[in-house]
Chain A
Amino acid sequence: MKKYYLIILSTIDEYIAYVLNFVMWRVRVILRLLVVYFLWSAIFSGNKTVFGYQQNEILTYILLTPLISSLITGSKSDIGSEIHQGNLANYLLRPLSVFKYWLTKDLADKLLNITFSIIELSVLVLLLKPDLYWQSNLQNLFLFTLSLVLSLILYFFLNNSLGFLAFWTADYWGPRFLVLVIQEFLAGGIFPLDILPRPLFIFSLVTPFPYLSYFPLSIYLGKHDLIFTMAGIGITCFWIFFFYQLSFWLWRRGLRKFSAEGR
């Protein structure tokens, strides 16, 4: 257990080695949040309700999005690059599980991310004084937490599956970029997905992306009934199973091809 604790410490050290780089990264996170926040504030000027959302619901959605993202998708680990540059050989030789190593690094990333996101968000809430939506229904809060945990697992395996493409191609960044673009939109980072035309919204729900941000947030806001929520949790579980199987299948096949090229 101690070695994984040390991995967490060394990952945090890596982050703060280039202080300015770290600071600029956090500035960027805040800026991205403010861009969306001001856009929605402008849309609501003169409108009390837009797309069935009250202003406090949308602003809560927008402010919680970076917090959720920092927990779920906020990871700097680049498995593809480790494979491509041959660095994977180093990890294979060490007396630890490579999967557990990546998972620990991922958790360290997220620990740092979430800590800073909470601080930044608290400061922004104090400064901007937005009218926020507070969920008090225990069932919704429980399902929200459950959905967050499932999203965390889903993204870990999805991210690994994409990274493992580097076993076969040096151009692993292409598919990754494409998924990132689709994820940016279909995860609901800029707006809640249910404002989209109905067919587009329904289509988005069968992809894994809404479950990375939109779905947990909509549960928090109490936007869906229990049947819809349970169906969403079921789809998340399906995608977890799919990407779990896919990532291990790619890993086993990939290792047979791996030649530590570049080392």
Chain B
Amino acid sequence: MINNLKKYFRVWYLLTVNSFAISLTSKESAFIFVLGKFIRLIFFLVFLITLVTHTKTLQGYTLSQTIFFYLTFNLLDTGTQLFLREVYRFRPLVVSGNFDLILLKPSSPLFRILAGGADPLDLLVLIILLFGLVAFFILYGVTSPLSYFLYFLLLANGFLIGVAFHILVAGIGVITTEIDHTIMIYRDLSSLGRVPIDVYREPLRFLITFIIPVGIMMSFPAKAFLGLLTWPTVFITLSLGILALLFSLSFWKFSLRKYTSASS
């Protein structure tokens, strides 16, 4: 088990080094991409500040709390993109039949297509976000260790749900060769979490909490930190995270059985 973990860590490390080298081949281009991501982050923040300054609160949340939800959303969104970027490059492998070469290798194909190329450009954005988060923690003044524990626990749970979504998209890609729009549909759905999900009306709120759990993924860590989640809700949230992962893994196995290697 330990040896296996060491092997996968080594593979991930080598693939990440390669991916970083490719991304940083053109430093000007890398700079422009990071700048673009940063501008996108700032633009929506300006919108949120303008909005909540005008309306005083957003469904009862103050400006700093709303920004905290936005930071948490970006942390998860950027984190999943950083580690799972390879899924965005999976379609050509299926269409060309080159996925066969990955299936033949003595390692998990799922690991390879999920984590086969971390994105350094997202890493830079993530560092900026972490600074923002630390600033919020200092300014907001919550000192309870339990709040921090629950926040990071549900953040990890959110990442798990993000992994589950990516596995599901990869599985759909194996069966149908359609990935590009499906992954962007996931991104669009998850963007509902840029603001606290409480602002949405029913039945949308129920849908994005329990059916497609982007609400649990994006909003619940911040809600837990602010002391707005009950213990039963925390347990249900963690259970849904594990269930989502198990479901996506079984769907992935199913999709592999349907793979026809058509173009190879």
Binding site for B on A (CB under 8 A): 18, 20-21, 24-25, 27-28, 31-32, 35, 38-39, 41-43, 45, 47, 50-51, 170-171, 173-175, 177-178, 180-182, 184-185, 190-191, 195-197, 200
In the bound complex, how far is the Cα of B199 from the Cα of A191, in angstroms?
17
Asked if B36 and A181 make an inter-chain contact with CB atoms under 8 angstroms apart, the answer reads yes
Given known A50-B55, A177-B36, A178-B39, contact A27–B200 (CB-CB < 8 A): no
On chain A, the residues within 8 Å of B260 by CB distance are: none
Residues of the B chain whose Cβ atoms lie less than 8 Å from the Cβ of A197: 50
Tell me if B51 is interfacial: C-beta within 8 Å of chain A.
yes
Judging by beta carbons under 8 Å apart, are A200 and B191 in contact?
no
Q: A42-B59, A178-B35, A178-B36 are in contact. Are A21 and B200 (CB under 8 A)?
A: no
Cβ-closest 10 pairs across A and B: A24-B181, A174-B32, A171-B29, A174-B29, A42-B199, A185-B43, A178-B36, A181-B36, A20-B178, A171-B26
- In the complex, the answer to whether A190 meets B47 with C-beta atoms within 8 Å is yes
Give the contacting residue for B39; candidates A170, A175, A181; CB below 8 A.
A181
Closest to B32 in A: A174
Which of A20, A27, A43, A200 has a CB less than 8 Å from the CB of B185?
A27
A-B contact pairs, 12 of them (CB 8 A): A20-B177, A28-B188, A35-B188, A39-B200, A42-B195, A43-B51, A45-B201, A50-B55, A51-B54, A181-B39, A185-B44, A185-B47
Q: Is the CB of A195 within 8 A of B50?
A: yes
Q: Is the pair B188, A32 in contact by a Cβ cutoff of 8 Å?
A: yes
What B residues does A38 contact at CB under 8 A? 192, 200-201, 204
B189 at the A/B interface (Cβ < 8 Å)?
Answer: yes
Which range contains the number of B residues in contact with the other chain? 35 or more
Instruction: State whether the Cβ of B176 lies closer than 8 Å to any Cβ in chain A.
Output: yes
Tell me the smallest distance from the CB of B191 to a CB of chain A, in Å: 6
Given the known interface contacts A28-B184, A42-B59, A171-B28, the answer about A182 and B199 at a Cβ–Cβ threshold of 8 Å is no
Report the bound CA distance from A19 to B247 in whole Å: 27
Minimum CB distance partner of A39 in chain B: B195
Roughly how many angstroms separate A175 CA and B36 CA in the complex, as a whole number? Answer: 9
Tell me which of B177, B188, B201 contacts A31 (CB under 8 A).
Answer: B188
Known A21-B181, A24-B178, A43-B51: A196·B46 in contact at CB below 8 Å: yes
B206: CB under 8 A from chain A?
no
- Assembled-state Cα–Cα distance A185/B40 (Å): 8
* Cα–Cα distance between A93 and B33 once the two chains are bound (Å): 35
Given contacts A28-B188, A43-B51, A185-B43, contact A174 B59 (CB under 8 A): no
Q: Which residue of chain B has its CB nearest to the CB of A44?
A: B55
Convert B195-222 into 0s and 1s, putting 1 for each residue whose CB lies closer than 8 angstroms to a CB of A: 1000111001000000000000000000
Residues of B with Cβ closer than 8 Å to A? 26, 28-29, 32-33, 35-37, 39-40, 43-44, 46-47, 50-51, 54-55, 58-59, 176-178, 180-182, 184-185, 188-189, 191-192, 195, 199-201, 204
- Smallest CB separation, A206 vs chain B (Å): 17
Q: Which of A18, A28, A42, A45 has the most CB of B within 10 A?
A: A42
Give complex CA distance A40, B195 in Å.
12
Instruction: Kindly state the separation between the CA atoms of A116 and B13 in the bound complex, as whole angstroms.
Output: 45
Of chain B, the residue at the smallest CB distance from A173 is B29
Which of B28, B54, B178, B200 is the one whose CB lies under 8 Å from A174?
A: B28
CB distance from B141 to the nearest CB of A (A): 28
CA distance A31 to B176 in the complex (A): 21
Q: Are A182 and B55 within 8 A (Cβ)?
A: no
- Could you tell me if B178 and A18 are in contact, using CB atoms closer than 8 angstroms? yes
Is there contact, CB below 8 Å, between A50 and B54?
Answer: yes
A223 to B92, CA, bound (A): 47
Output the least CB separation between A169 and chain B (Å). 8
Cβ of A175 and Cβ of B32 under 8 Å apart?
yes
B113 to chain A, nearest CB (A): 19
Q: What residues on B are CB-neighbors of A25 within 8 Å?
A: 181
Max count, chain A CB within 10 A of own CB: residue among B36, B43, B50: B36
Asked if A28 and B181 make an inter-chain contact with CB atoms under 8 angstroms apart, the answer reads yes
**Chain B min CB distance to A200 (Å):** 7
Interface pair B26/A42, CB less than 8 Å apart: no
Given known pairs A38-B201, A47-B55, A190-B47, the reply for A177 and B181 (CB within 8 Å) is: no
CA distance A119 to B44 in the complex (A): 30
**Bound Cα distance A39, B58 (Å):** 11
Which residues from A are CB-within-8-Å of B33?
174, 177-178
